[in-house]
Amino acid sequence: MPLKVRKELQIQIIQMIIFVICFLFLIKGKPDYSGQLDTNIEQQIKLDKSSKANSIIIKFYVSSSKAVCLVSQSSLEQVAITDLNDPKNESFAYDYQGYQANSVYQLVEIDFYQLLYIRCLQSEQINEKSSYELYITERPFIESCINDCNGYNYPEIQNSVCVSMQCNCLDSYFGLFCQFQSSKIYSNVYNKLTIESNKWIYLYYELPTTNVELQTMNEQQDVFYSLVSEQTPQKTIPNLQNSSRLLSIVNIQEEIIISNADVIYIGIYNNQSEQIEFQFKIVTYYQDDQSIFERNRIIIIITVCAIATLFLFAIGISVLRTRKHQQIRKQVQETIRRNLNQQGFLDQQQQSNRVFDPAIYKGFQIRFIKDHFKANYYDKFIQVYPGLSQFEECAVCLEQMKNANNKLQKICCVTPCFHIFHYICLQEWLLRQKNCPFCRTVYNRKKIIQDFPWIDIGNIQIKNTDSNYLCRIKNQIESVNDSRIELNQNQQSEQTNQLQEIKD
């Protein structure tokens, strides 16, 4: 067989298979019985018995939104529309939620009976016809899973399932057998809604832990809203009996708290005689402004307390350090005072020894020296008479006065001839002899008393400015050097011995 003929044959076979599948689908989807129903008029339907017939599904299409169709195995002539308050009436079956929702479709599933009574009731006397489609199914009837939880779309499948004799609907579907579809809405976003006259539109919203409000751009007349929480099975749907008028701003927080659910279904009903369009949104206030304020206040209080605690801790440490430093300072001062007292006691002993040894101490008495040779700091003497700054070392002990290593060496004294020495060194010198250690100028009591004080630190004045020494220091520096050279070897040896005694 040629290749071309073979391909044409394969195409024809495929086309036939597709035609057969479509035909079978149409046959399967075609109702077993169908017809029209007059308002408030009962109609009987006789069915053929089949061994595979287990249940009956009847799909009604009602032209009026206020009509409801009943199915029973007994006569429905005595049933009135006021008897439809109880959805669990055992004498007849009807789509109670479809009636609440004013749906154009109503679906009823019952066990198979060969004789059925059907009647559509309407509160208003309007001669409008309704139609029905009747399907005989092989699936056993489960009262809580009508149409196997596939809603009004028989025999189509929505993938909603019946689990544990209950309908578990898809996210966007709800109702007793997942027959209603809703649209998801989000917080703080306006949604444009179009609602037909006397119809419902359904929305679902996942609740956060927030304050929730419903808001519209412009307030509508005769528009109502109803809220129900998500349930399994969904036995309640938004309805007019549990509805409120939709204002421009509606706080629904209390209703949400009562519902205690994670998802709510919001039904909005147009009770007007014409189509309406408006914008609608849900406004959320995260954690409630007052809660946020309380939380921020607690955070601020905790932060302030922490900072205050750290501040007090730092102050405490500072106080402890200050006390420790004061204790150390007191210990040092006490040690210095004790050492000074010991040193004073030693000096007093030495002075007493000096008084009682006339062979060595041929100078002035210690009281006379203390009264007329006043001691002060080296820096103060230099400040009063800068000319003394040329003397940086004591001529007696040859130790520093300007850059002294200890406090005792900084205490100095100036002689009437304007030479500066350590106070202790000069005191020791004058106890031994009555002259200047530097220039050998001889002192006597009358001269010293007459010139004292030759330097007054308090009044910053200098006496005896015309002394021979000052003249020499200004005009005859060389003679001063010569006088220093004239010191004999014995005197130098005596000064060395005196220095050693002072150090000891």
Tell me the CATH number at 400: 3.30.40.10
Q: Is residue 210 part of a domain?
A: yes
Rounded Cα distance between 291 and 299, Å, is 12
Contacts of 217 (CB under 8 A, 6+ apart): 190, 278, 279, 280
Of the listed ranges 92-101, 299-308, 349-358, 411-420, the one predicted with least confidence: 349-358
Query: Is the separation of the CB atoms in 40 and 126 below 8 Å?
Result: no
Q: 239 with 223, same domain?
A: yes
Q: Is residue 220 part of a domain?
A: yes
Of the listed ranges 193-207, 288-302, 317-331, the one predicted with least confidence: 288-302
Q: Which of 328, 356, 384 is the last residue of a domain?
A: 356
Q: 294 with 282, same domain?
A: no
Binning pLDDT at 50, 70 and 90, where does residue 165 land? confident
Instruction: Write down the pTM of the prediction.
Output: 0.52
Q: At what angle do helices 468-475 and 477-485 cross, to 10 degrees?
A: 110
E strands present in 21-126: 33-37, 43-46, 55-61, 67-72, 105-111, 115-122
Q: Is residue 256 part of a domain?
A: yes
Query: Is the separation of the CB atoms in 176 and 167 below 8 Å?
Result: yes
At 310 the pLDDT is 92
Rounded Cα distance between 176 and 236, Å, is 8
At 24 the pLDDT is 54
Tell how far CA 360 is from the center of its chain: 88
What are 26-46's pLDDT values in tens digits? 555 688 888 898 888 899 999
CATH code of the domain covering residue 103: 2.60.120
Asked whether residue 366 carries a pLDDT value surpassing 60, the answer given is yes
Asked whether residue 62 carries a pLDDT value surpassing 50, the answer given is yes
Tell how far CA 386 is from the center of its chain: 69
Of the listed ranges 17-26, 172-181, 194-203, the one predicted with least confidence: 17-26
Q: 416 with 477, same domain?
A: yes
Of the listed ranges 76-80, 214-218, 300-304, 441-445, the one predicted with least confidence: 214-218
Asked whether residue 234 carries a pLDDT value surpassing 60, the answer given is yes
Q: 408 with 333, same domain?
A: no
Binning pLDDT at 50, 70 and 90, where does residue 59 land? very high
Q: 120 with 212, same domain?
A: no
Asked whether residue 53 carries a pLDDT value surpassing 50, the answer given is yes
Q: Which of 91, 115, 141 is the last residue of a domain?
A: 141
Tell how far CA 150 is from the center of its chain: 49
Asked whether residue 458 carries a pLDDT value surpassing 70, the answer given is no
Average pLDDT of the segment spanning 132-160? 84
Q: 350 with 441, same domain?
A: no
What would the two tokens of residue 124 be? 């208003």
At 479 the pLDDT is 43
At 19 the pLDDT is 67
Rounded Cα distance between 333 and 155, Å, is 108
Average pLDDT of the segment spanning 446-457? 84
Binning pLDDT at 50, 70 and 90, where does residue 328 land? confident
Concatenated DSSP letters of 196-237: -TTEEEEEEEE--SEEEEEEESSPPTTEEEEEEE--SS----
Q: Quick count: other Cβ atoms within 10 Å of Cβ 483? A: 15
At 474 the pLDDT is 40
The structural domain count of the chain equals 4
What backbone phi and psi angles, to 5 degrees, belong to 487? -60, 125
At 340 the pLDDT is 58
Beta-bridge partner residues of 202: 267
At 480 the pLDDT is 38
Q: 387 with 466, same domain?
A: yes
Q: 431 with 484, same domain?
A: yes
Rounded Cα distance between 25 and 29, Å, is 6
Q: Quick count: other Cβ atoms within 10 Å of Cβ 340? A: 13
Q: Is residue 153 part of a domain?
A: no
Q: Is residue 23 part of a domain?
A: no
Q: Is residue 163 part of a domain?
A: no
Q: 370 with 483, same domain?
A: yes
At 420 the pLDDT is 92
Q: 91 with 190, same domain?
A: no
Q: Which of 286, 307, 326 is the last residue of a domain?
A: 286
Q: What domain range is 242 assigned to?
A: 182-286
Query: Is the separation of the CB atoms in 411 and 457 below 8 Å?
Result: no
Q: Is residue 147 part of a domain?
A: no
Residue 377: its H or E element: strand 375-377
Concatenated DSSP letters of 443-469: --HHHHHHH--SEETTTTEE--TT-HH
Q: Give, rounded to a whole angstrom, the gap between the first and last alpha carbons of the chain.
A: 142
Percent of the chain with pLDDT over 90: 17
Q: 349 with 393, same domain?
A: no
Average pLDDT of the segment spanning 40-64? 86
Query: Is the separation of the CB atoms in 454 and 414 below 8 Å?
Result: yes
Q: Is residue 175 part of a domain?
A: no
10 vs 442, which has greater pLDDT?
442
Asked whether residue 159 carries a pLDDT value surpassing 50, the answer given is yes
Q: 370 with 383, same domain?
A: yes
CATH code of the domain covering residue 255: 2.60.120.380
At 216 the pLDDT is 76
